[in-house]
Chain A
Amino acid sequence: MRHFFEHKEHLVRMAVLFVVGILAFVVFREIMVPAGFGEYGHFRAGALDDVRAHPVKYAGQATCVQCHTDIAEQRAQGKHAHIGCEACHGPLATHAEGKSDEVPTKPDPRATCLRCHTQNVTKPKTFPQIVPAEHSAEGPCTACHQAHSPSLS
């Protein structure tokens, strides 16, 4: 016992050093490590929510067909049956959610079609392609074809 107290300042010094060191580590860690880090892995769990918070711009065709049943029926019968509405109409989530009173503008009835149907050797041979100058030099394609059900035969 006496032996112990004889050199106690060594021990006290060391203990203080330990405590300060550990405290500093705990405080530093608390400040530096973001909340939720490590919950699912080596990352901040809240980052998942951050990414999910991004707004949706393409409503998805399932939403469009709920209201535009006539066009959905028309499309279902033709060769464009599997093309999403927004592939031609562009992102319309604000319209579909009723957040915008603006009536969406119609897609260009020529440029829209040419984007997909202009002939190109790199396109798969089975895909229907046309040479615009030969097939219809100018004017809207919709003069003959219906946009939502394009086959004439």
Chain B
Amino acid sequence: MDETRRDFLLKTGKFIVLSAAAAGAWEAVVHGQPDRVPEAYRLLDHWWAFTIDIDKCIGCGNCVYACKKENDVPLEPQFSRTWVERYHVNPDDMEHPEVDSPDGGYFGFPEKYAGQDGKNFFVPKMCNHCATSPCVQVCPVGATFESPDGVVLVDKSYCLGCRYCVQACPYGCRFIDPRTSTVDKCTLCYHRITKGLTTACCEVCPTGARQLGDLKNPNDPIHAFLRDHKVQILKPQMATGAKCYYNGLDGSVR
């Protein structure tokens, strides 16, 4: 038998392809069938979103407090997974609102603008759980990701603490946890919502300004809310696919 170059290349090619396939198959053999999320929770049956009604927020800071308690977010220095901003918009200069958020609103808001001309309102902020998130796109190790049910999460065991995502988030929703030197952010209380509870911030919100919603559940009140209100997301021009819908969002909010 005379082996031509073509035969040789063909054989080597087959060898490479088959051994790659074998490696893939071996992986499946070693790890067995995937059985990741047991119990009744089915990943593909949910698509989580959030609504915030600015006209209802009283700036009590309950959400900031509860989030820290529930998720063991460090008290000092003042990092927050969710925080509340206070806006004061002067009618003479609508483009440049005065914004403050003392300790994220953790202790509430001492009166500041009494008797001044202009409009005032609170804007609760948190991770927007974007469907095409810039933070996910920049992660070099696949440590931050969009879960199949629409929540942006962090794999702390693989996070390098490189801070790319902190830079990439247009909403400033990420920080480095000083205890672990890994990134930390709102998980939409993933440990709660996958057990049928609402998020800690929604649980303690006295006026219902914050609401968790499941867009894949046809009976969820979020559909009525989105239908009955004129909603907006933050920074729509960034095309992040944000899923945090604000009712009554003023144009001055950044």
Contact = CB atoms under 8 A, between A and B. Distances in A.
Interface of A: 1, 3-4, 11, 15, 18, 22, 26, 29-30, 34-37, 39-58, 60-61, 80, 82-84, 86-87, 90-91, 115-116, 118-124, 127
A120 B69 CA distance: 26
A122 B146 contact: no
Contact of B31 (A4, A36, A123): A36
B62 A36 contact: no
A37 B157 CA distance: 13
Interface of B: 1-3, 8, 12, 15-16, 19-20, 23, 27, 31, 34, 36-37, 43, 55-62, 66, 69-71, 86-88, 108-109, 111-116, 120-122, 142-148, 153-158, 187, 190-192, 194-195, 197-198, 200, 203-208
A90 B113 contact: no
A62 B116 CA distance: 42
Given A54-B191, A58-B66, A122 B156 contact: no
A3 B2 contact: yes
Contacts of A57: 69-70, 200
Contacts of B36: 36, 39-40, 45-46, 48-49
A124 B56 contact: yes
6 contacts: A30-B27, A47-B156, A54-B71, A91-B69, A122-B87, A122-B109
Nearest to B191: A54
Contacts of A60: 197-198, 203
A47 B69 contact: no
Given A22-B16, A48-B147, A52-B191, A39 B61 contact: no
B203 A87 contact: yes
B191 A41 contact: no
Nearest to B149: A48
Nearest to B53: A124
A86 B204 contact: yes
Nearest to A60: B197
A87 B62 contact: yes
Contacts of B192: 56, 58
B203 A61 contact: yes
Contacts of A121: 111, 113-116, 120
A51 B111 contact: no
Contacts of A87: 62, 66, 203-206
A122 B190 contact: no
